Structure 1
């Protein structure tokens, strides 16, 4: 079966710059259009803060089902964030000569997700329909190609590709961490907010969480899961009153929930694999928003913006249980870990730039 998955992975199209864009001088852009399945985490993590920095440039955000007929294409630079549908793609094709450029941004190895064995079939269908099938036509339009990590760029690159890195740029966070850490409470909330794409991480955590919950009666555990994963969590024989299994939320609802409802401990495992190897460390942003003390897998993804005081451990049950024990039993250690991840968000901001790579704007000049 793995051989078949590898064949499928190799056959699926990748984003590629058009032959005419290689070596060409980009036109100056007067306006910016972002096409996305909006709102979504990719826009929040990578694009929102950068568009806010374009104070003198009109920025237009369009969801995939919104029409573009009312837009002036002259001098318009277009960012396709992961997905596009036929009507918008046809609009771009009809106006390609008047556009200032077209960039494609991707923050996942989408062929690896489609060919892999973790994502659900409905999610794979969505990815194939919105992100894979349009690529041959999208590629003929592209003047810029951006990925979220160097690893993903290496996966997609060839001798003719010029792929720029658009690293996460989080918003400045409020000071929830110190507030929550200062509260005296005998009850602690531990969370795992991995999506269904992280099936292996869910299954890795199940026996660990079961053991931790049996040992620490003051823990309440929250996990987002649906379908077979939710049923697996329900079979762990954890006291129902001490565990919440919630279905995954739409992005806007998830933002609101994690802003309004914090956590004490957040689990952030990441196992070795083709899909995970290309991921960025945006999970830090969610954890900081909740004001939680995190436990991270020791891996290249989370080492990128690591700071002293964070907990980074190997992917063994023993190490994860020891780390949970440490955070449950030591309030000061939780505070240190929480504040460290807040600092890592600032490091994340400082390690990138607000510029969109390679775009020249009429008003601001060349900011790349």
Structure 2
């Protein structure tokens, strides 16, 4: 048996009853980009007639609730749903079949675990203290992730929802990247628009971006994007020389500083065995186009999205060979150092 917990926390009391029959529709409300939704709900979506996710981080979350909650649906609240949403649901005259609170960490008991980071412990315990009255008004069921949680809170065994395997995307992952510095501000704005649109249209693309915390905040909400902190040149060279990527981006917005750029981005892309999408004002853009060493496009976001999607379907080896040869050809033209003074 589970040992007694000192000052053992208690769950809120289930008092609500819903009278509508379940229509086999489920509405999951939570952080939809979290591992919790993936492990416990998304990959069970085939078990119900209709499965809907409401992302609590979206500005139009409440509007989505209004259109997604149907007569007889089952609502699942995942972990620490914001109080504003709980209040909205509690005040709404819902015709649902039931409301479930699901938690996969010991949120009610977080305040007692001194080994948890203090900000994390404080955040969870503060939320639960304020949310409990609202959950009491809303929920007629509680689900947990483990038998330990069920035993601790005296819940029936059938309330345990174990994690399930996460289904992998069958298509190969396409790894795209843009590595800009702080001097590429206008280029960054453009790349973010391109990334956002590519990711909304494709499930098998991954973007790697190099930037600071402001970039990290800017990409929040865009799926499958990794932001790497800027690194010293030797470290960057080692990283890029030891791996293979798929598509590199080399935008060049119309700024006075950009007019003096060289074609080093072409070299960086080739080093990673990738093919590139280049601005039509990029140095060597005409040669790149003539020699089929990459795709050259204008400054429209849709042009870049279409170019990336075209390269995703292409056997890149010929284009990569052409790009490497172009780099060598340009290098061979200069005699500045060899001729000296």
What range is the shorter-chain TM-score in?
0.3 to 0.5
Of structures 1 and 2, the larger Rg is shown by: 2
Give TM-score scaled by structure 2 length.
0.47
TM-score, normalised on structure 1?
A: 0.44
User: Structure with the greater relative contact order (CA < 8 A, sep ≥ 6): 1 or 2?
Assistant: 1
